[in-house]
Amino acid sequence: MMMAAWCVLGTKPLFLLALLTFTAALQSICVTLCLAEEEIEVQSPEVTHVVMEGTSAEEATCWQERKTASLPPGGSHPALLDISWFTDSMEAGHPVPVEGRHRLEVAVPRKELPSPAWMPPYACQRPTPLTHHNTSLLDALETLAEAAGFDRSEGRQLSFCRAASVLKALPGPVTALSQLQGLPHFGEHSRRVVQELLEHGVCEEVERVRLSERYQIMKLFTQIFGVGVKTADRWYREGLRTLDDLREQPQRLTQQQKAGLRHHQDLSALIQRSDAEALHQVVEAAVGQALPGATVTLAGGFRRGKLQGHDVDFLITHPQEGREAGLLPRVMCCLKKQGLVLYHQHQCSQQRDPAHPARQNHIMDAFERSFCIFRLPQPPGADVEGCQKPCPTWKAVRVDLVVAPSSQFPFALLGWTGSKVGSVLLGARPGAGGRVTRSLFPQHFGGELRRLTAMVCLIQSRRRFST
């Protein structure tokens, strides 16, 4: 079979194209080697294929339109092909059918890569919205941070938390690795994770962690009220794997852990904002009855604007310094009389002299507080998340009550507003209940800065609850 094909010299060496032409001639295939596109004459009806190398489809089409302007109406255009078709035909000894891979590539216009975002170095300088643009990337980094925490590797945990905090504050989605260039606290490990997710949609390291038995068991155990990383790790090393394993050995459990295990199904479900507001009214009424003039502030995630959470935090104070002393037992007594308390652990104030705070491991350890499980009545027909039984009349919810003197209220409010990641960024350590904590006292701030900090916290609080 005779055929005419024209080769346009591109980036391949001349001797290679000459060799291909010679090979074609041996197989009785008529080929003309052209060194420039001007030499090609496509008006001839014998020309059935034009083979080009190093040319895009757009360039070839433009060339063809110029060359075929004088073609008579109805004349056929030769196929514009990549040189791979030519080499395949040489191997086969005859012109092979044209496949998709033989056609010239369509050049996709290059989009300009997004420019790197500028980011302040400190988390407190960055506005961070509740709803951000990089959920999948953030989930991956938070998984690695959580796994590092389970291994008690505080350095790695801090690194991943810092990178996650930066991602949350970005003004748009990350679509190219170049956007991370120059961002503070975004280390090489975190960059590799993001790169894998952008290129493949999945990160092998993250998936390996999520599927590992230890990670899953540690996550299960640390979700129990009163169980921290150290306890969960000890149970895992002792061979415990399920909640039933724990129920079969109650002697291992503290009273707090027994209560947490007893109400685990309810406590694992998310608390809705409507439930938090209902609890706010209940606690506010009890506090008002125990000490008129005292105030109750909703703290934690709900103060940050979240619609759901795993527990509810309330901060109690009185404008007159010292009046708050001994308030919490009276409040708990009032709540117990209403049948609302399923469990509580009271801790007295350990801060006797504000000028010389005792060394503490956890946030606000000096404040009087109570870690509780409340019995929250449910309206008829209410749907309780995770419950398969017909409409329960109540559900167990986690509540923390903290009492702070008015002079320390702004600092307590800052600490108990959170978040957990924010506390980790301050270099804090996870507490037994999973809360990451650090003590804050007025003496840590001097003079005008102390008064300014207190003023800003109070103004923010008033604005939040006035809107």
Q: Which residues are catalytic?
A: 311, 313, 400
313 is in an annotated binding site: yes
Q: Is 400 annotated among the ligand-binding residues?
A: yes
Q: How far apart are CA 21 and CA 17, in angstroms?
A: 6
Q: What is the largest CA-CA distance in the chain?
A: 107
- The Cα 398–Cα 345 span in angstroms is 12
CA atoms within 13 A on the CB side of 128: 20
Q: Which two tokens stand for residue 32?
A: 């003309």
Is the preceding omega at residue 212 within 30 degrees of 0, hence cis? no
Q: How many CB atoms lie within 10 A of CB 348?
A: 10
d(CA 378, CA 392): 7
Asked whether the beta carbons of 87 and 98 are under 8 A apart, the reply is: no
Q: What does the alpha-carbon distance between residue 271 and residue 396 come to, in Å, rounded to a whole number?
A: 10
Residue 93 CB partners (closer than 8 Å, separation 6+): 27
**CA atoms 192, 195, 196, 197: torsion sign:** positive
82 is in an annotated binding site: no
Please report, in range form, the residues annotated as the binding site for Mg(2+): 311, 313, 400
